[in-house]
A and B are shown apart, each in its own frame.
Chain A
Amino acid sequence: MNGSAIAASGLRKAYKDKIVLDGIDLDVRTGTIFALLGPNGAGKTTTVNVLTTLLTPDAGQVVVAGHDVVTQTRAVRAAIGVTGQFAAVDALLTGEENLLMMADLLHLPKAQGRRIAGRLLDRFELAEAAGKPAASYSGGMRRKLDLAMTLVGEPRIIFLDEPTTGLDPRSRRTMWEIIRELVAGGTTVFLTTQYLEEADELADRIAVLDQGRLVAEGTADELKRRVPGSHVRLRFTGRHELDAAARILPGSARDDEELTLRVPGDGGVRSLRALLDRLDRHSIDVEELSVHTPDLDDVFLALTGNANKEVNAR
């Protein structure tokens, strides 16, 4: 099974006259992690709410697990699990009671519900706290319980809206581990995040959402290559080589102290080969070569920043 788990086209949503989603197209392959990256207010949660049947889109088509979210709501709901932005656990119930309540609402037989709850408590290292009210849990434990509650129904597609916002670094790593395990088991994960590191770390594909529009989509590497600013750094053994190279590579920046030359370029194989060929033709020896691609932070700022400028110019 390697089709689309989630496919959206021309998705639009506005509240009164405020456009929140302005024509979104998405395609998430089954069994992959897809990250929707964007600053606060970009429309991430609205996107999740539409994909999970909580909101009806104004326009566009959304197919989740092979079913239309508007006309086949029930079939979609049966296939998905959602963990919202805030840990939606019942604070007055214990961890175990929360899970058993989910099992009851899914109409699982009592014994099966208890078995699943026990397994999830073990898996998420909540067994010790199972009998304590969730109000006494730490933020990380609440998120884990929240996700465990989503997993009681064994959904094929899981939506995680900012799953690690507000978590300490250790809890964040634990959450990442859990998400990776889910996908290893064949589940599709759609997550939103405002952390580039998280998207970089987890996602097979990333879409950048800004002011209701997708401003970029691709793998982390593809996105990094899209921003200008990547360059090749060449280091030479002596001043002579540096001078020679600077002459044949106009537009490069030299550092006499370090004996290095920064050559702008996308770091792709083709342009690298051209660069090396050129140096070869002039018999210039390069001691060391490194490709510097901007990290996702650069990408993010460049992409969302440009979009802002566009808007301001209008």
Chain B
Amino acid sequence: MNVIADSGTMLRRNFRHTMRNPMALFNGVVMPVFLMFLMVYVFGDAFSVGVDYADYATPGLMLTTICYGIGATAIAVNSDMTTGFINRLRVMDVSRAAVLNAHVIVTMLRSLVAIAFVTGVAFLMGFRPSASFAEWLGVIGIVVLTVFAIGWLTVAFGLAAKTPESAGLAAVPLMLLPFLSSAFVPAGKMGPGARQFAEYQPFTPIIETLRGLLTGAPSAGSAITAIAWCAGLALVGYLWARASFEKRA
């Protein structure tokens, strides 16, 4: 039962970090909101996607919000590693699970708060989803699953990186992935190469699933692909994080 008590202690600590460093949350919100203005007001009318652009772009922006928020996690995990904080805990026999779980849980909470905020802004900009209550629950479920998967990957990045700076950079590819997905334009309208990449990368099925749920036309196929991707990424992230945690002293 030590794992639960220790997870609680570590969670309290990471929660305090977030409260004392509100910039992490702020950064995670500002960029997605800016992107939303850019996409919906500036470019939006130029894209013909068949539906209102705010409705089209919001699911992608939810995902983008996750990606902009995780840099802080990678850096926090890495500085725990490089300052010897994790070694201190290892010598105290604090379980690996407690340390890493706390980082993942706080990342999830922070992302969910940011996503709620960004979605609120989307409503102000004309986002009008037609999802039922059950479909909204589905949206929340997929978002939580995605944050969970990306959270574990980020923790693994943070543990594996040599310096906090390089850990921070680990989030960059994730920030770019939404642009090469169906987040802002349909994959079918992209050039060759980009189109195939967009079709087969994990963000596209996740975004398509969210889009389907929010417009009241869920697609079971993309939902299964999305869930499989999340489960796979979470597992890779978890195993990688565990291996890095054990290896580095």
Residues of A within 8 A of B162 (CB): none
Could you say which of A74, A80, A105 contacts B94, with CB atoms under 8 Å apart?
A105
- A104-B9 in contact given A86-B83, A97-B16 (Cβ < 8 Å): yes
Q: Is A101 within 8 A of B9, CB to CB?
A: yes
Q: Does B92 sit at the interface, judged by CB under 8 A?
A: yes
Residues of A within 8 A of B85 (CB): 88-90
Q: Is B92 within 8 A of A105, CB to CB?
A: yes
Q: Does A271 sit at the interface, judged by CB under 8 A?
A: no
How far in angstroms is the closest Cβ of chain A from B206?
Answer: 32
CB contacts under 8 Å to A, within B15-48, are 16-17, 20-21
- A101-B13 in contact given A49-B249, A92-B20 (Cβ < 8 Å): yes
Residues of B within 8 A of A106 (CB): 92
* A-B CB contacts (within 8 Å), total count: 61
Residue of A whose beta carbon sits closest to that of B19: A92
Residues of B within 8 A of A84 (CB): 84, 87-88
Q: How far is the CA of A106 from the CA of B16 in the complex (A)?
A: 20
Q: Does A78 sit at the interface, judged by CB under 8 A?
A: yes
- A77-B5 in contact given A85-B84, A90-B13, A92-B17 (Cβ < 8 Å): no
CB contacts under 8 Å to B, within A44-94, are 49, 52-55, 74, 77-78, 80-82, 84-90, 92-93
Residues of A within 8 A of B17 (CB): 92
Q: Does A149 sit at the interface, judged by CB under 8 A?
A: yes
Q: Does A118 sit at the interface, judged by CB under 8 A?
A: no
Residues of A within 8 A of B16 (CB): 92-93, 97
How far in angstroms is the closest Cβ of chain A from B3?
Answer: 12
Q: Is B89 within 8 A of A105, CB to CB?
A: yes
Q: Does A107 sit at the interface, judged by CB under 8 A?
A: yes
Q: Does A95 sit at the interface, judged by CB under 8 A?
A: no
Q: Is B9 within 8 A of A88, CB to CB?
A: no
Q: Does A23 sit at the interface, judged by CB under 8 A?
A: no
- A82-B93 in contact given A105-B9, A107-B5 (Cβ < 8 Å): no
Residues of A within 8 A of B91 (CB): 52-54, 77, 80-82
Chain B contact residue count (CB 8 A cutoff): 23
Q: How far is the CA of A195 from the CA of B5 in the complex (A)?
A: 41
Q: Does B135 sit at the interface, judged by CB under 8 A?
A: no
How far in angstroms is the closest Cβ of chain A from B246?
Answer: 10
How far in angstroms is the closest Cβ of chain B from A89?
Answer: 8
Residues of B within 8 A of A264 (CB): none
Residues of B within 8 A of A87 (CB): 83
Q: Is A88 within 8 A of B92, CB to CB?
A: no
Q: Is B9 within 8 A of A153, CB to CB?
A: no
Q: Does B199 sit at the interface, judged by CB under 8 A?
A: no
Q: Does A133 sit at the interface, judged by CB under 8 A?
A: yes
Q: Is B88 within 8 A of A82, CB to CB?
A: yes
Q: Is B13 within 8 A of A88, CB to CB?
A: no
How far in angstroms is the closest Cβ of chain B from A70?
Answer: 14
Residue of B whose beta carbon sits closest to that of A46: B249
Q: Is A92 within 8 A of B21, CB to CB?
A: yes
- A86-B93 in contact given A92-B20, A107-B2 (Cβ < 8 Å): no
Residues of A within 8 A of B88 (CB): 82, 84, 88, 149-150
Residues of A within 8 A of B96 (CB): none
Q: How far is the CA of A150 from the CA of B2 in the complex (A)?
A: 19
Could you say which of B6, B13, B20, B93 contacts A77, with CB atoms under 8 Å apart?
B93
Residue of B whose beta carbon sits closest to that of A161: B84
Residue of B whose beta carbon sits closest to that of A74: B93
Q: How far is the CA of A78 from the CA of B84 in the complex (A)?
A: 19
Q: Is B9 within 8 A of A86, CB to CB?
A: no
- A residues within 8 Å of B by Cβ? 49, 52-55, 74, 77-78, 80-82, 84-90, 92-93, 97, 101-102, 104-107, 133, 149-150, 153
4 nearest A-B pairs in the assembled complex, by CB-CB distance:
A88-B84, A84-B84, A54-B249, A104-B9
- B residues within 8 Å of A by Cβ? 2, 5-6, 9, 12-13, 16-17, 20-21, 82-85, 87-94, 249
Known: A87-B83, A133-B20. 13 other contacts (CB 8 A): A49-B249, A54-B87, A82-B88, A84-B84, A84-B88, A88-B85, A92-B17, A92-B20, A101-B9, A101-B12, A105-B9, A107-B2, A149-B88
Q: List 7 A-B contacts (CB under 8 A).
A: A80-B91, A82-B87, A82-B91, A86-B83, A93-B16, A101-B12, A105-B9
